[in-house]
Amino acid sequence: MTQQESRRWVVVFRDDARMMQIRADPSRRDAHVAYVRAHPELRIGGGLRPDPEADFCGALWVVEVATRDMVEALITDDPFFVPEWRTYEIYTWGKILEDETVLL
């Protein structure tokens, strides 16, 4: 793999309860959605809850970029990212049945 080739990464966010203030702010949410739309390398993502009726407790992203630094830049530039209230872990990820396409 050359430096320019993309890798698949998974980001798991864990939110402090105060992140619900960010999620409740319509202008912040609109800015976050616009940010995601402007970054097609962020292939899929969404909020996580412990059950359907609970508050969000984090999020998950699948990103395709060449380097971990590029993943971190996507995270820290996101209008939803508040370092005091949101932590994250980054993993490289390979998809089983790589030759098959999956639509969600």
pLDDT for residue 92 is more than 70 = yes
- Note the pLDDT tens digit of each residue in 39-77: 999 999 999 999 999 999 999 999 999 999 999 999 999
CATH assignment at residue 16: 3.30.70.1060
Is 5 inside a domain boundary?
no
* Burial status of residue 84 (CB atoms within 10 A of its CB: 0-12, 13-18, 19 or more): exposed
The answer to the question of residue 22 being in a domain is: yes
Q: Is residue 46 part of a domain?
A: yes
Q: What pLDDT shows up at residue 1?
A: 46
Which tokens belong to 91?
Answer: 């993993």
CB burial readout 34-59, b (16+ within 10 A) else e: ebbeeeeebeebeeeeeeeeeebbbb
Is 98 among the domain residues? no
The arithmetic mean of pLDDT across residues 1-20, rounded, is 86
pLDDT at 102: 75
Domain contains 58: yes
- Domain containing residue 86: 12-92
Identify whether 76 is part of a domain: yes
Q: Is residue 37 part of a domain?
A: yes
Provide the domain count of the chain. Answer: 1
* Mean pLDDT on 82-90: 96
Could you tell me the pTM of the whole model?
Answer: 0.88
